[in-house]
Amino acid sequence: SAVISQKPSRDICQRGTSLTIQCQVDSQVTMMFWYRQQPGQSLTLIATANQGSEATYESGFVIDKFPISRPNLTFSTLTVSNMSPEDSSIYLCSVETGGRGEQFFGPGTRLTVL
């Protein structure tokens, strides 16, 4: 498995602002993903963060709202743009290691939008 850290661990933001969440892994990984877990709900995949190219977004998520960067094989950022209270969620990054399809998750960033 990999050790994954996220910053910030939590934040309270005002409507209309943006927040950038960082995900750092202690080893090089090919696959990194971003998920959202809305209150009382399951996890929903936002996008796959591709190193050296644009992220691949799932249906219902767009780059203007959730821009993602992946500058190298150990780091990615997710920005939540022009936030509204509906964006209040836990945002998690995950990585796939070992070539066996197993994904490991970071601790999450708890975002509250007022």
Partner 1 sequence: GNSVTQMEGPVTLSEEAFLTINCTYTATGYPSLFWYVQYPGEGLQLLLKATKADDKGSNKGFEATYRKETTSFHLEKGSVQVSDSAVYFCALRKGGGADGLTFGKGTHLIIQP
Pick from 30, 72, 82, 84 the residue near partner 1 by CB under 8 A: 30
Task: Report the nearest approach of partner 1 to the CB of residue 72 (Å).
Answer: 18
Using CB under 8 A as the criterion, what x/- string covers residues 43-82 for binding partner 1? xxx--x---------x------------------------
Question: Cβ closer to partner 1: 61 or 75?
Answer: 61
Residue 15: C-alpha distances to residues 5, 34, 54, 106 (Å): 26, 22, 27, 26
Question: Cβ closer to partner 1: 31 or 73?
Answer: 31
Which residues, including other chains, have CB under 8 Å from residue 55's CB and lie 6 or more apart? 47, 48, 49, 63, 68, 70
